[in-house]
Structure 1
Amino acid sequence: MSATIKLIPIPPIVKTLTVRCSPETAFRVFTADMGRWYPLSIYSIKPAVDCRLEPHIGGRLYEIGADGQETLWGHVLEWDPPHALALSWQARVSEEEAQRIDVSFRAIPEGTEVRLVHAGWERVKVDGAEWRDKYDGGWVEIFERRFKAFADKSI
């Protein structure tokens, strides 16, 4: 008798915020300017001086060390400027454990509503729920504070 492994769903992280700029600007800030707002001194795999996203489906998301070494964070799964993008996220895990990050940009009277959903925690082999909780706090600093502050200045 073979045993079937059943993955227990772990709720995604969902963060929604408003920035005081257009969807086009917010999308550009999130993608092309990531190395300017992402807090690499706090959140990087190796000591890094920059991070970049290649703007096309299949493009890499990666950090760059002072020595020029590139370390992969994930890949672009969807690319629909200025409305949405989706990324695989495999920082510190194998490709089979990669999660998915969806980011959408919607015009509202105050500027742009930006919604980030980080899902797929049940794929992480070593306590996905614990990883999810750590990333939830990380996204507060990265997305809710750093991205928002930089986007709000990019009117």
Structure 2
Amino acid sequence: MTAALHTLPIPPVVKTVTVACAPAKAFHVFTSQIARWYPLDRFSVKPAVDCRFEPHVGGRLYEIDATGEETLWGHVLEWNPPNALALAWRARVGDDEAQRIDVTFRAVPGGTEVRLVHAGWENLKVEPREWRDRYDGGWVEVFERRFKRFADKAG
């Protein structure tokens, strides 16, 4: 792929689920309990046993392997419980290739609509469209299935 193609807009990955709990609970589950619902066995940079948010702007989202080594996934750009959070996502890439993930939590009848938008694919230097497609499928398992199932039970 030539560099000129990297500048073409690549649509964000957008996923929306409705979970059977209030926004504050959904936000808590998404952030503070991420290691309980995130499938680390399938979606980690290294074989990981835990992952954590540092709950403030500038904080990290990172995984931890069995030896205690930490591997960065991203940095918190926005921390607005229970309404929204945003990340500079840089798993497997440097800061100059970071994408942006926005997650919003909105009360709806019967629970909370949680919307995840993963954008900025143009920042990737290698195979941005292919990575976008991989993440599109990955977020189905991670967000639409795993997070939703865990949040519904936590409700």
Could you say which TM-score interval applies, normalised by the shorter chain? over 0.9
Equivalent residue, structure 2, for 1:36: 36
State the 1:94 CA deviation: 1.1
- Partners of 1:110 and 1:127 lie apart in 2 by 40
Equivalent residue, structure 2, for 1:120: 120
- Partners of 1:18 and 1:43 lie apart in 2 by 23
- Partners of 1:52 and 1:17 lie apart in 2 by 22
CA deviation profile, 1:97-117 (whole Å, cap 9, x unmatched): 000000000000120000000
Gaps of 5+ in 2: none
TM-score between the two structures when normalised by the length of structure 1: 0.96
Counterparts of residues 44-123 of structure 1 (less than 5 Å): 44-123=44-123
- Partners of 1:135 and 1:98 lie apart in 2 by 14
Aligned CA-pair RMSD: 1.2
- Partners of 1:16 and 1:122 lie apart in 2 by 22
State the 1:80 CA deviation: 0.4
Equivalent residue, structure 2, for 1:15: 15
Q: What residue identity is the alignment partner of 2:124? A: V
State the 1:8 CA deviation: 1.0
Equivalent residue, structure 2, for 1:137: 137
Q: What residue identity is the alignment partner of 2:116? A: L
- Partners of 2:32 and 2:84 lie apart in 1 by 14
Q: Identical aligned pairs, as a percentage?
A: 71
Q: What residue identity is the alignment partner of 1:68? A: G
- Partners of 1:108 and 1:45 lie apart in 2 by 35
State the 1:7 CA deviation: 1.3
- Partners of 2:10 and 2:47 lie apart in 1 by 30
